[in-house]
Structure 1
């Protein structure tokens, strides 16, 4: 579809700043737009729109590069190994939630995100069993950092009963759980751009964030 010049800002608003746009960069925004639309100087307009986006400028800021490359962990099948982490605390939402629990598969990079009111071991273990294991099955291995909730007797016993092996990152070295840590950064940046002014609706915006992630 050839877009009239007067409608170009509407397309840019939808595909970059809308709930399904996710404030992606120039390359990904341009790819999404070109799937359906065409107009002269499309690339220049997309670059100009992304450069002037105040939400992107406020959230992204300067990039800090890691000192060394992350060490790869090879897996051979979906759900062979998963990573789990808790992000937060965030401002208490209208539903009483303060944290996100993130679960990711190392093979497919498929993310699952759950809003939770606290990060107690019993809450995390209950959500993991009923929302993850019951839907996808029990993985061979679960990897996490050394938070007390993941190292607690409740969580360890849950892993033992379910028959999955528990591994952990080394102390003061979160890069060894880099996949889920990087996703947490992406999720938090997305939420910072789309939440309402009072920041009490963040736990209802993560579905759009996952939708944007799947589109990538």
Structure 2
């Protein structure tokens, strides 16, 4: 159980994913209850993971009908600076396929953001029909709007001060930060 849950490559995943990893290699009597108890008592998970809380009223869902119909963008950072000088991560998530790209960047300026989105994501997967982001200065700049107009991409944005409106990418941010915290320790943000 330790090998399938606590190694850095395992990332301290939850009970279901740990169970799936263990089942590929081992089997014993009362395996489910043993793994459930092991994951529930993991001190690293208990220190770093937040409890799942659900809202009282469901949000209105938008369902994409094809790949690259709607791509969500968001930044994580600033994080500790890497050897290459990167301290931000641009997260791009395709809503239909849930494909996630994490692009390390030195800053969050509009120029760097637009260049990374085009060179690292759109050049490989094609241009999306719609980009959905928060109201950060980099995404609302005239340069980013001009790029969207030039590439005929519809630009949509979230409600101010409401990160849950861009839930697709916020959930990926949380998953990535959980894995980073498990690898680096509880001091990472």
Give the TM-score of the pair, scaled to structure 2. Answer: 0.91
Structure 2, unpaired ranges of 5+: none
1:1-216 pair list within 5 angstroms: 12-195=1-184
Name the CA distance, whole Å, in 2 between partners of 1:62 and 1:21. 20
- The verdict on how the C-alpha distance between 1:64 and 1:91 changes in structure 2, with shifts beyond 3 A counting, is farther
Name the CA distance, whole Å, in 1 between partners of 2:126 and 2:46. 41
Structure 1, unpaired ranges of 5+: 1-11, 203-216
Contact kept, 8 Å, 1:83 with 1:177, in 2: the verdict is yes
Give the TM-score of the pair, scaled to structure 1. Answer: 0.80
SS of the residue aligned with 2:175? Answer: helix
- The verdict on how the C-alpha distance between 1:170 and 1:135 changes in structure 2, with shifts beyond 3 A counting, is same
SS of the residue aligned with 2:72? Answer: strand
Contact kept, 8 Å, 2:48 with 2:186, in 1: the verdict is no
Name the CA distance, whole Å, in 2 between partners of 1:100 and 1:68. 31
- The verdict on how the C-alpha distance between 1:177 and 1:61 changes in structure 2, with shifts beyond 3 A counting, is closer
* RMSD across aligned positions (CA): 2.0
Name the CA distance, whole Å, in 2 between partners of 1:113 and 1:61. 22
Contact kept, 8 Å, 2:131 with 2:155, in 1: the verdict is yes
Contact kept, 8 Å, 2:181 with 2:187, in 1: the verdict is no
Give 1:108 deviation, angstroms.
1.0
SS of the residue aligned with 1:93? Answer: coil
Between Structure 1 and Structure 2, the one with more helix by share is: 1
Give 1:153 deviation, angstroms.
1.1
How many residues align? The count is: 189
Deviations, residues 172-193 of structure 1 (Å, cap 9, x unaligned): 2222211111111111111101
Name the CA distance, whole Å, in 1 between partners of 2:186 and 2:49. 18
Deviations, residues 163-206 of structure 1 (Å, cap 9, x unaligned): 2111111222222211111111111111101126986xx9xxxx
